Structure 1
């Protein structure tokens, strides 16, 4: 029985070691490796009554790892009421008012705000936003356009996106935001209200 020549065995050993080392380098570290902590019961968001945080995501944590991510939801009715108030305040012409109301998405909007360390990390293009219904069926997915954030304070930068949301029946959705740069996923529950 012939064994592999010494050079071939050496080559296979080096190739195997490189493969293992590459796999080890590709693994996320820190909080990303462990996964983010989750609340036992979803917590209502302070700013948006329709959103509950499933993943622990506080402003204190942003000082540690720059991973603050917030989702808000504004309904069509809220946005039209705000425009009606602004029309009275600024004495807009009817055509201006109608044009602005016509631009409001019928399903409302998601407002995504992130705080990251460094301007390049505050890139909304790193995010993938996915909404699924109770059965797990995907009903919405979106990746915002790339761009850097604005200085927020210390070494934190903020980026914000207002994303039109499709019109749908009142229901509870699971919203997931995956940050490809942080290797982290932030989970939320979104309650779509009945039209008012």
Structure 2
């Protein structure tokens, strides 16, 4: 009769131990647990004049933990200029030109580029992008479509996604890209230009 309560007690304590161990393993560790370092003042992005980096996101960090994430923005006017330049270089039929112009998103496009370690680390559907205005109201949110990357060098792989962005008045938006696999959030400031 004493065996049953003792076995039940041991099973109870074993269950508590496994529960505690599981919650410890589920917690992010290292840099992810501390969060990303932030700049004192947002830094202009070297490739996109409309974007400023709020969280530190350097090439050195991608060598350490494969966490490089870049946000770019291409306005509809910039894309139209590029198509006009390509039209001069190539002998396009009018239908090709019209099809390309019609495919330009009216609000421009966000370009998300990531470098991650290993081919499975570049799964773009691990990323969720959220845009909020100055009042903190969410104006755009999307989980990136599934996709894999290509070999970038060493053990890094690169993934790239272009997201059509809705047309909005010129304003400053806060953009956050959350990586559910790395437990990290990358923050940016996007300044939408006036329509030209």
Residue in structure 1 matched with residue 147 of structure 2 by the alignment: 147
Is it true that 1:10 corresponds to 2:14 in the alignment? no
Alpha-carbon distance, 1:141 to partner: 1.1
How far off is 1:152 after superposition?
Answer: 0.6
Aligned equivalent of 1:132 = 132
Partner of 1:58 in structure 2?
58
Tell me the equivalent position of 2:95: 95
Equivalence map 1:1-196=2 (5 Å): 5-196=5-196
Bigger mean CA offset, 142-151 vs 51-60: 142-151
User: How large is the RMSD of aligned CA atoms in angstroms?
Assistant: 1.2
Query: How many residues were matched structurally?
Result: 193
| Superposed structure 1 runs of 4+ greater than 6 Å apart | none
Which segment drifts farther, 158-167 or 144-153? 144-153
d(CA) in 1 for partners of 2:19 and 2:119?
Answer: 33
Cα drift, residue 168 of structure 1 = 0.5
Give the superposition deviation at 1:171. Answer: 0.8
Classify the secondary structure of the residue corresponding to 1:46.
Answer: coil
For 2:12 and 2:157, how far apart are their aligned partners in 1? 46
* Distance across 1 between alignment mates of 2:51 and 2:98: 29
Once residues 70 and 195 of structure 2 are traced to their aligned partners in structure 1, the CA distance between those partners, rounded to angstroms, is 24
Moved more, 142-151 or 21-30: 142-151
Which structure 2 segments of 5+ residues have no match? none
TM-score by length of 2: 0.95
> For 1:147, what is the secondary structure of its paired residue?
coil
64-73 or 15-24, larger mean C-alpha shift: 15-24
TM-superposed deviation, 1:118: 0.6
- State the shift of 1:23 in Å: 0.6
